[in-house]
Amino acid sequence: MPGGPVPKKKHSRSRRGKRAAHQFLTAPTLVDCPDCPTKMRPHHVCITCGYYNGREIVPSEETEVE
Global pTM exceeds 0.85: no
Residue 62 identity: E
pLDDT at 58: 86
> For residue range 9-60, what is the model confidence (pLDDT) as tens digits?
999 999 999 999 999 999 999 999 998 999 999 999 999 999 998 888 888 7
On the 0-12 / 13-18 / 19+ scale of CB atoms within 10 A, 63 is: exposed
Q: How far apart are CA 57 and CA 63, in angstroms?
A: 12
Q: How far apart are CA 23 and CA 53, in angstroms?
A: 34
Residue 63, pLDDT > 60, answer no
3-state secondary structure of 60: coil
Q: How far apart are CA 31 and CA 53, in angstroms?
A: 13
Residue 62, pLDDT > 60, answer yes
